[in-house]
Structures are given as C-alpha cells and as structure tokens.
Amino acid sequence: MRPSAVLSVLAIFAALAGCFAFKTLVFQSETSNSYVEMIPQKPLNLRAFTLCMRVATELSGEREVILFAYRTGDYDELNVWRELDGRLAFYLSGEGVFFRVPELGALQTHLCVTWDSRSGAAALFMDGRKSLTKIYKKNHTVRPGGKVILGQDPDVYLGDFDANQSFVGEIGDVNLWDYVLSDTMIQDMSSGKRVPRGNIFDWETTQLKINGQVDVLHQEL
Ligand code: CA
Ligand code: CA
C-alpha cells in the first residue's frame, strides 16, 4: 500500500473510533453553581417523549437529587428526581408521578422515562426493565421556551439553585425523543445496541455548556 493510502485507512479508523468515543459528566461535589446546559436541536414542545440517561450516584436516602431539569419562566416543565425516599419521579409543571423502584447507587443505571399525552401513559425503565404504567397528565403539553440543565434544579428561569438538591455523581448518554420509543428499543439501548438517536437531544452531538466544577470524561467504547 502507498503511504497516502495507509494514511487514509488510518484516518478512516480514527474517524470510526471517534464515532464511538463516549463522554460522561462527573459532578464531584455538592454545589449550588455547577451545572451543564444542553442545547436542544429543536424546541421542547412535547405531546410525548422518551428521556434516557446513564446515571450513578452514591447519595442514598440523604436528600432529593435532581437528575434532569427543563424549566421555562414560571414552571418546571419536565424535571426528573430521585426523591428523598428513593423513589424516582418526574414532574410536568405541577404534581409529579412516582415510581417505587430499586435505589440508584454507585453502579451505573440506564434510566428512561416515557410519557404520552393522548393516553396519559407514564412509565419508567431501569436497565431495560419496564415499570408499571401510570396515567398522568392526559392532554398536557410540555411547553417550549425554557432551558435544559443537568446538575441543578432551577426555581426561576435559570437560577435559585439549592445545593441540597444538586446532582452529585456521574451522568451521561442523555437523549430525548419527542415520541415514545418501543419497549424493545429501550431494552436494546440499555444493553448498548445502537438505536435511532434522540431527535431533541442526541448525546453524541448535543452542544454542552459547562458551568462551575463539572469534569467531562471521554472514553472509548
Ligand atoms: Ca429547588
Ligand atoms: Ca425547580
């Protein structure tokens, strides 16, 4: 092979390796100012969604922990929490829907929540296993015009953070679709198979704005 051909083969391998590089965020300590803003590919105007992430935290039973926050001026439009009692919950501007599941811990959990406005069907998946379905906020719409952040719970448009609600641990592979993925796709994703990338957030390409003390780690898959 000519040197130029060798170089182009190497370039292809490098590009392929780059495709499978995976980034993850480490929130080392409890703060009221460390967070990561995620820039969506289109506005969050949602009548349905699937939101997935890989998450690990050693905060167990000590306090509530924010896992994902999307807030407009006046409302927490779509927030995911680990509650004080270990339940997982999500809130669409108002009362939440709660799931009594095994507690998050130091080992990574692949977590998804799904919701559909028409039926109100709300469910949660942990490592591909599906919860019971609950009926929640039928005919509701998640409204556009807010900001999505990881690490803090805003109580105004982007601020009023409380260290006691902050995320401490590791989080990554945060993807959001504006529709409900099939159970099989969510199972495949949790076991590392490639599925259609999130059409609102695709973790591989989503622009992140880091604020405060957050470490971004890159690893090869
Ligand atoms: Ca708060
Ligand atoms: Ca809030």
- Taking only the tens place, the pLDDT of each residue in 13-53 is 544 444 556 899 999 999 999 999 999 999 999 999 999 99
The answer as to whether 11 is a domain residue is no
Rounded to whole angstroms, the Cα distance separating 168 from 213 reads 11
Number of domains in the chain: 1
pLDDT score, position 166: 98
Determine the structural domain holding residue 88 and report its residue range: 21-220
78: nearest Cα among 172, 197, 174, 216: 174
Taking the CA of 79 as reference, the closest ligand is 2
The answer as to whether 3 is a domain residue is no
Q: Is 83 exposed, middle or buried (0-12, 13-18, 19+ CB in 10 A)?
A: middle
pLDDT score, position 220: 78
pLDDT score, position 207: 97
Pick out the chain residues at pLDDT < 70. 1-21, 221
CA of 9 to the centre of ligand 2 (A): 50
Please report, for the domain that includes residue 26, its CATH number.
Answer: 2.60.120.200
The answer as to whether 68 is a domain residue is yes
The answer as to whether 180 is a domain residue is yes
The answer as to whether 214 is a domain residue is yes
The answer as to whether 8 is a domain residue is no
Q: Which protein residues have their CB within 5 A of the ion that is ligand 1?
A: 153, 155, 162
CA of 141 to the centre of ligand 1 (A): 22
pTM of the model: 0.91
pLDDT score, position 62: 83
Taking the CA of 160 as reference, the closest ligand is 1
CA of 216 to the centre of ligand 2 (A): 25
Rounded to whole angstroms, the Cα distance separating 203 from 205 reads 6
The answer as to whether 103 is a domain residue is yes
pLDDT score, position 55: 98
Tokens for 199, please give them: 């059409």
The answer as to whether 4 is a domain residue is no
